Amino acid sequence: MTTNSIRQTLALGKRSTLELFRQPAIVLPSMIFPLFFSFLGNSSFGRTTSLPGFPKVSSYLQFQLAGTIVQGVLFGSVTGAAALATDIENGFFDRLLASPTSRTGILFGRLAGSVLFGAFSTAVFIFALLPFGADVSAGIRGIIAMIISGALISLAVGALMSSVALKTGSSEAVQGTFPLLFILLFFSSAFFPRETMSGIYKTIAGFNPISHLVEGIRALSLDGFTASATARAVLVPFAIAIVALFIANSQLNKRLRSN
Amino acid sequence: MNTATGTSTITSTSTMIHEKDLHTTTMRSAGQLIKRSLINTRRLPSAFIPTLAMPIFNMVSFSGTFFALTKLPGFPTDRSINWFMPLGLAMGSAFSGVGLGFSLIRDLENGFYDRLRMSPTSRISLIVGPVLATWIRVTLVAIFVFIVGGLLGARPTAGVLSYVCSLVAALGISTIGAGWGLGLAFRFQDMRGAAIMQLSIFLTMFMSTAQVPLNVMTGWLHAVARINPITNIFRLSRSGWVNESSTGYMSWSNAYGGLIAITVLSVLSLIFAVRSLQKIDK
């Protein structure tokens, strides 16, 4: 990447970040709903922490923290990708193509906004739930690792959703993937441990990538700052992000060729 | 005197005819609106399928994910599907109801509703027709949910009454949702109303015994769910699906609270819809 490309990517990244933060009505639900579900879950399932198979936790909220982070980051990433699709719909994407802008910068600039928002919302969730019993056993280093993990999950999901945006050019299609994410979330270990599930549900949750994203962050929250917990929290989303970026980049190239 | 009497007779006869005509027009118009709504369901299955899929998804995912809840002491059933099937049905019914508000917003935006208002259609039929159409859709959804639930292991503990109570609760919730959705759509006349419809229904449903019974809840939710009338509707809906030994099992004392909640909330929400419609006319 040349200096110019980096400058252009940074400018586009700044634009996408400001765009997200300037539209609180679009972004706030992705933060309020996960927090609401956390408090709801804490009151509803508070007594389940003594069930056989449930990990040792100080409160259900401590168990739920990781699920809340992933839930918020998933929904926020859809918003970011929908904004890319809107750029395609309203012609801004074509204007960028007409200018001598770095092509990959268009994609990476958009994803930068999602990554920053992912890190920001992760920090908000941690500090909003901490006073209510969502302790992070890994301490401050664990919180930093969790924020990095949140940013990487945002990058991974944002890149996958951007592939949909680049392929379809429709914000409606991107929003249409929301129920799919919702289903994936509910069939994962985001709200209840896999150990308490049985039969087909346990198998589905085991294969579901969302379970692994959640359990990585949960390991930091419950087990403390260990090498394996940090590796799970950071490396799993990192690996998914690499694959997702590859897919998004090929979709971008396809769109460029068709243009 | 004679003239006066004659005039009075004519006026009285004309009022009688007018009232009779009005009644016939209301029912005929409501019938046409039901027909239109059902034809739309057939022509636009994409709009109806989510209503059908949502309760199934709710039922399947919740009963699988939260299966371990049934092992908690005092949980009223040992089958998680028995507990979560009425929740799925209630959610589907509520969103079928507020879905009326969405279609009304579309009709308001594309001008169809203005044409209805300009025609000599009875105003009440504009509410009665869609609500009755929702009842038909909710009944279809309920049959589908009962079949899928049965296949997944849901077993009634009070025979046919189990299905009847769940269906009554579902129809009640859809009426409340419909009145609320129509009222908000008349007030806002654009998609801002849709967001409020969804959010308010979602919060009201979940801040009740939607997920767990009162004896399992702790903290603030217990206090809120205890006074939330939707809790009574869930008690009615689940009374035929919990164990016979449970305190929530089918009995008049577990049913009347739900029936009162349905009646009062339905009347209030429909009054809200009628008042909001009158506001548009003004």
Does residue A170 have a pLDDT over 90? no
Q: Which residue has the higher pLDDT, A172 or A89?
A: A89
Q: What's the confidence (pLDDT) of residue B5?
A: 42
Q: What's the confidence (pLDDT) of residue B128?
A: 86
DSSP A56: -
Residue of A43, A192, A196 with shortest CB distance to B221: A43
Chain A residues whose beta carbon lies within 8 Å of the beta carbon of residue B64: 187, 197, 199-201, 204
DSSP A6: H
| B75: contact with A, CB 8 A cutoff | no
CA angle A23, A118, B64 (to 5 degrees): 105
**Domain span including residue A79:** 3-258
Q: How far is CA A111 from the centre of its chain?
A: 11
Chain A residues whose beta carbon lies within 8 Å of the beta carbon of residue B68: 48, 51, 53-54, 192, 196-197
Q: How far apart are CA B97 and CA B204, in angstroms?
A: 14
Q: Do A186 and B65 touch (CB under 8 A)?
A: yes
Q: Which residue has the higher pLDDT, A31 or B157?
A: B157
Q: How far apart are CA B256 and CA B235, in angstroms?
A: 10
Q: Which residue has the higher pLDDT, A137 or B15?
A: A137
Q: How far apart are CA B9 and CA B26, in angstroms?
A: 25
Per-domain boundaries in chain B: 2-281
Q: What's the confidence (pLDDT) of residue A97?
A: 85
Does residue A121 have a pLDDT over 80? yes
Q: Which helix H or strand E contains B205, and what residues bound it?
A: helix B192-206
Q: What's the confidence (pLDDT) of residue A248?
A: 93
Q: Which residue has the higher pLDDT, A13 or B227?
A: B227
Question: What confidence tens digit (pLDDT) does each residue in A181-198 have?
Answer: 888 898 999 999 998 888
Q: What's the confidence (pLDDT) of residue B19?
A: 56
Q: What's the confidence (pLDDT) of residue B223?
A: 95
Closest to B87 measured CA to CA, from B198, B195, B171, B170: B170
Q: What's the confidence (pLDDT) of residue B3?
A: 41
Mean local confidence (pLDDT), A25-38: 85
Positions in chain B short of pLDDT 70: 1-24, 44, 46-47
Number of domains in chain A: 1
Least confident range from A94-98, A224-228, B36-40, B61-65: namely B36-40
Least confident range from A19-33, A68-82, B177-191: namely A19-33
Q: What's the confidence (pLDDT) of residue B7?
A: 43
Q: What's the confidence (pLDDT) of residue B86?
A: 96
Q: What's the confidence (pLDDT) of residue B244?
A: 92
Q: What's the confidence (pLDDT) of residue B22?
A: 58
